[in-house]
Homo-oligomer: A and B are copies of this chain.
């Protein structure tokens, strides 16, 4: 996001930046507004930086014996400087759901979906290096494709992962949440969460943006079963606490809304939270912009 047009609580319209790629002229209002969930103003226009379509794209799926091995492969890939464009973790349950929903026949173990961008030679080299890393960690075989149809089929399954998850338990409601932790703690956080899910008799596939240390959990809950709802809520609380204990955040992408307001003090501490509140009061003194969100 390069710039925004924003309608403020005063009714005035502000542009947060110009079309230059960078600026050091005053405060970064663009980043302040991005992620503010409508509490500081209403975004009416965005200026985005576009990325070109690469000359060549290769992608593929690589199975791993464990979430830990898959995460370690992702870390090693990034540390080696392989410029991986996408790297997504699906746990065994999510793979099972995708197989059924998207008519795939992937091995039902944790897998990484990866994609490389570059020249023909570049993506071949990157894919080969990634395959070697995967093998070192007990993963593989890594099959990669550069044909558009093959790639689209894989990524379509990835994009349908939420619906695939839902179909694991027809009639249930999907309670989606996400957390983000330092990448070095991701395997531990996912594995502990999977154990917690199992111990509480819940069903919850995992899908992770592993390059960021971020993962999504979709709890498939029978909302008519009060005890199950209670167990699900307990799990969500423990997950947020687990991420915070690992120096992570209670939400990497979803935002705070109302559901995660209760974690804000634990995550930010009183001084940073009060700084946010004072910015909110300064820009929206009458609390008319999406009131009751982010802060109680």
Residues of chain A at the chain B interface (Cβ within 8 Å): 8, 10, 12-29, 31-32, 34-36, 40, 52-55, 79-81, 83, 117-119, 121-122, 125, 129, 180-183, 212-214, 243-244, 247-256, 260, 263-264, 267-276, 278-279, 281-283, 294
Contact = CB atoms under 8 A, between A and B. Distances in A.
A182 B3 CA distance: 13
A31 B272 CA distance: 13
A269 B129 CA distance: 50
A251 B180 contact: no
Contacts of A117: 81
Given A19-B247, A27-B40, A282-B282, 6 more contacts: A15-B272, A19-B248, A21-B212, A24-B249, A25-B263, A29-B275
Contact of A247 (B18, B212, B249): B18
Given A79-B52, A256-B25, A20 B248 contact: yes
Contacts of A268: 14-15, 25-26
> Which of A19, A27, A81, A278 has most chain B Cβ within 10 Å?
A27
Contacts of A214: 20-22
26 contacts: A8-B275, A12-B274, A14-B271, A14-B275, A20-B214, A20-B249, A23-B249, A23-B252, A24-B35, A24-B249, A24-B253, A25-B250, A25-B267, A26-B256, A26-B264, A26-B294, A27-B32, A27-B40, A29-B275, A52-B79, A53-B81, A54-B81, A55-B80, A55-B81, A81-B118, A121-B121
A294 B24 CA distance: 10
A293 to B, nearest CB: 10
A72 B186 CA distance: 43
Contacts of A28: 28, 31-32, 34-35
Nearest to A179: B20
Contacts of A34: 28
B54 A273 contact: no
Contact of A31 (B32, B248, B260): B32
Given A52-B79, A54-B81, A81-B54, A251 B25 contact: yes
A10 to B, nearest CB: 8
Nearest to A34: B28
A31 to B, nearest CB: 3
> Which of A21, A32, A80 has most chain B Cβ within 10 Å?
A21
A253 B22 CA distance: 8
A272 B18 CA distance: 12
A183 B19 CA distance: 9
Contacts of A282: 278-279, 281-282
A87 to B, nearest CB: 13
Q: Which 9 A-B pairs have the closest CB atoms?
A: A31-B31, A282-B282, A23-B249, A14-B271, A12-B271, A14-B272, A20-B180, A19-B247, A278-B282
